[in-house]
A = this chain, B = another copy of it.
C-alpha cells in the first residue's frame, strides 16, 4: 500500500500532484472560513476579529505581545481589532500584576458566547470532513499541514497544542 523510495514510489511528488495539492489548499481554505465569515457578516466584525477571539479563548490571560506573535500582524492592526472588541465588551484587558506594562486578555461572557457560535460552526464543518475522510486520513492531513508550516509558526502551533 505505502510506496517506498525509488521509481514509482515518488509518483506523489510529480508537479501534477503538487499542483492538485496547491489547488486543494486554495479551495479548502475557502470552505474553512466560509461559515464563520457568514456569521460575522451581519455584525460589525470580520475574520480578523474571529482570529483574535479564537486565540484569546485558546489562551486566556495571554498578553498583547503574545497575540501579535501568533497572529503575525502589526500591533496597530491588532490594536484596532482589539479596541472594538474591548469597547463592545467581548474582551477584557487586565493590567499585569507581575509586570504592569503587560495587558492580559480574557473573553467576557458575551465574548464567550460569540466564540462558541463561531467555533461551533467551524468545528461542524471540520467534523464532517474528518468523519467523511476517516481517522487515518486525518492523521495524514495533520502531518502534511505541520510540515508545510514555517518553523516559527510550527513552534507556535506546538506550544498551543501542548500547554495551555
Check A157–B24 contact: CB distance below 8 A: yes
Copy tally for this chain in the complex stands at 2
In the assembly, what is the distance between CA of A51 and CA of B23, in Å?
A: 10
What's the interface size class on A, roughly? 35 or more
Contact of A137 among B32, B123, B139, B150 (CB under 8 A): B139
In the assembly, what is the distance between CA of A114 and CA of B160, in Å?
A: 37
In the assembly, what is the distance between CA of A154 and CA of B31, in Å?
A: 10
Check A18–B126 contact: CB distance below 8 A: yes
Q: CB of A80 within 8 A of chain B?
A: no
Check A125–B139 contact: CB distance below 8 A: no
Which chain B residues border A23 with CB–CB below 8 Å?
58, 157, 160-161
Min C-beta distance of A135 to chain B, whole Å: 4
- Stretch from A1-9, A85-93, A97-105 forming part of the interface with B: A1-9
Q: CB of A164 within 8 A of chain B?
A: no
Q: Hey, which bits of chain A sit against chain B, CB under 8 A?
A: 1-3, 9, 11-13, 15, 17-32, 34, 51, 54, 58, 72, 119, 122-123, 125-150, 153-154, 156-157, 160-161
